[in-house]
């Protein structure tokens, strides 16, 4: 049996590789923005949106690879009761970080494993992150060092790197904050005989 990661996320791939999990990565090619817009119109919660996107990604590839276990993941940021999407420019990223400065927000990570076009496992994790009250000088230096790479992350930070300096407190599963609830996933892969 093979594991397919329905994503081109570099950090998710690095986490699986570092844990010794054999897998292939394939993009799901899901129009995430259209799905989010439709779910928001139905008043879906940020957590429900993350889980729906993870499931759709897994199912999309699972139907084409019925013999494989397909892992779909998604992560959303919830701040002041609303869903925050990825920033499309450094100007948007700066505005987001300034709005998060000195306040708490949630990262909700969802993972769904599918086989033969059916979800067989799901996990959702919520982490609470308190951003410190950083200075304008720090933010300028952060943008100079990180550049457009931060646009790949929903909160415009990579906690595994320089983004750690943005925070005063982080509560939640570290791997899930990075985008993958790794330990529960390893347990279910052992149950399916993919790992010992």
As annotated, the active-site residues are 74
Closest CA to 52 of 106, 122, 120, 127: 122
d(CA 154, CA 53) in angstroms, rounded, equals 14
Q: Quick one: how far is CA 184 from the chain centroid?
A: 15
Residue 89's Cβ-count burial label (10 Å; 0-12, 13-18, 19+) is: exposed
Residue 46's Cβ-count burial label (10 Å; 0-12, 13-18, 19+) is: buried
């Amino acid at each position: 049996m093979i594991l397919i990661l329905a994503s081109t996320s570099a950090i998710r791939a690095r986490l699986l590789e570092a844990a010794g999990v054999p897998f292939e990565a394939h993009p799901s090619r899901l129009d995430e923005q259209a799905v989010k817009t439709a779910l928001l119109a139905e008043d879906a919660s940020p957590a429900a949106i993350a889980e729906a996107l993870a499931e759709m990604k897994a199912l999309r590839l699972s139907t084409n690879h019925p013999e494989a276990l397909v892992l779909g993941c998604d992560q959303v940021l919830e701040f002041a009761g609303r869903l925050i999407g990825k920033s499309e420019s450094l100007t948007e990223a700066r505005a987001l970080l300034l709005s998060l400065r000195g306040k708490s927000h949630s990262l909700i990570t969802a993972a769904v494993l599918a086989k033969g076009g059916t979800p067989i496992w799901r996990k959702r994790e919520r982490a609470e992150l308190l951003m410190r009250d950083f200075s304008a000088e720090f933010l300028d230096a952060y943008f100079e060092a990180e550049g457009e790479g931060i646009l790949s992350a929903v909160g415009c930070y990579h906690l595994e790197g320089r983004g750690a300096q943005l925070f005063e407190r982080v509560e939640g599963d570290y791997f899930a904050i990075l985008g993958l609830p790794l330990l529960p996933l390893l347990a279910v892969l052992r149950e399916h005989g993919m790992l010992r």
